[in-house]
Amino acid sequence: MPARVEGTFLMHIISRFVLALSLAVPSCGGAEHPYVWVESLPPEPARVTTIAPQDRIFVLVRGQAAMSGEQVVRADGSIVHALLGKVAVGGLTESAAADRLRERLRGILEQPQVSVAIVGSSPAKVSVVGEVEHPGRFDVDDGEGVLGALARAGGLTEFADRDGIFVLRDRPQPMRIRFRYESLTGGGRASRFRLQNGDTVVVE
């Protein structure tokens, strides 16, 4: 079997395996409804941007060019500052990270003024499995929804259940969220739903 065909076949086998596992996700709505429709979810809270591993941030210490510059956030959520050494910034907002750096600089500088800005973010990674043309794991843009992820996977196959599209989400609690394809294009709650890093989109 040619390598390319074999790889595609293997991806489809893995996709079907993940699809089978998705059916075993604990019920979110009772034994008769092991999922929750996206329309019944509470409104999403206002998004707060926090610093994540692989983000690029710019640290500005006013009047201190040697202490300023662009940093890449390491896998453990820290940066290595020229003067302060290792500083944990992962999970903090830009202003909170600036406050942490400012506190660390007190006693070294008189009234340090620090600003932090995210200048580049690592993309979220989402898996798309089931009845799509090209199952796989994809980078998605910040704020991208289910329809965009399906497009990255080549769209639905002819065997797809257009009312059986799910998002599996582990955090803050395991959830299985159901979508109708038509609602994804209708401008309602489904189209405004935003994927998160680690989500899995399943098409039955």
- Cis ω for the linkage preceding 174 (within 30 of 0): no
pLDDT of residue 121: 86
pLDDT at 173: 83
For the purposes of burial, counting CB atoms within 10 Å of the CB of 26, is it exposed (0-12), middle (13-18) or buried (19 or more)? exposed
Sorted by sequence, the CB contacts under 8 Å of residue 151 that are 6+ apart come out as none
Domain residues for 161?
Answer: 3-46+123-203
Q: Are residues 129 and 61 in the same domain?
A: no
User: CATH code at 188?
Assistant: 3.10.560.10
Q: State the Cα angle at 111 between 105 and 113, rounded to 5°.
A: 75
Distance CA 51, CA 89 (A): 7
132 and 34 in a single domain? The answer is yes
What does each C-alpha distance from 147 to 157, 189, 196 come to in angstroms? 14, 13, 14
* 37 plus 9 within the same structural domain: yes
Task: Evaluate whether residue 51 is within a structural domain.
Answer: no
Domain count, the chain: 2
131 neighbors 161 (Cβ within 8 angstroms): yes
Same domain, 136 and 38: yes
d(CA 185, CA 204): 18
Say how far apart CA 73 and CA 135 lie, in whole Å.
Answer: 30
State the Cα–Cα distance between residues 125 and 22, nearest whole angstrom.
18
Looking at the domain assignment, is residue 152 inside a domain? Answer: yes
Q: What are phi and psi of 142, to 5 degrees?
A: -60, 125
Residue 30, pLDDT score? 41
Does one domain contain both 184 and 128? yes
61 contact partners, CB below 8 Å, separation of at least 6: 67, 68, 101, 105, 109, 112, 113, 114
Q: Going from the first residue of the chain to its last (204 residues), give the mean pLDDT of each consecutive group of 10, the final group possibly shorter.
A: 50 53 45 76 81 93 93 94 93 95 92 94 91 95 91 95 94 89 88 92 95
- Residue among 142, 119, 146 at smallest CA distance from 130: 146
Domain boundary among 98, 120, 142: 120
Residue 112: inside a domain = yes
Together in a domain, 152 and 64: no
CA distance 190 to 182: 9
Which residue do the tokens 């500005």 mark?
60
Residues 127 and 114 in one domain: no
Residue 133 inside a domain? The answer is yes
Same domain, 137 and 82: no
Report angle CA 184, 189, 194 to the nearest 5 degrees. Answer: 75
Q: Is residue 84 part of a domain?
A: yes
Output the pLDDT for position 2: 54
Q: What is the CA radius of gyration of the chain?
A: 22
Query: Does 193 lie in the same domain as 136?
Result: yes
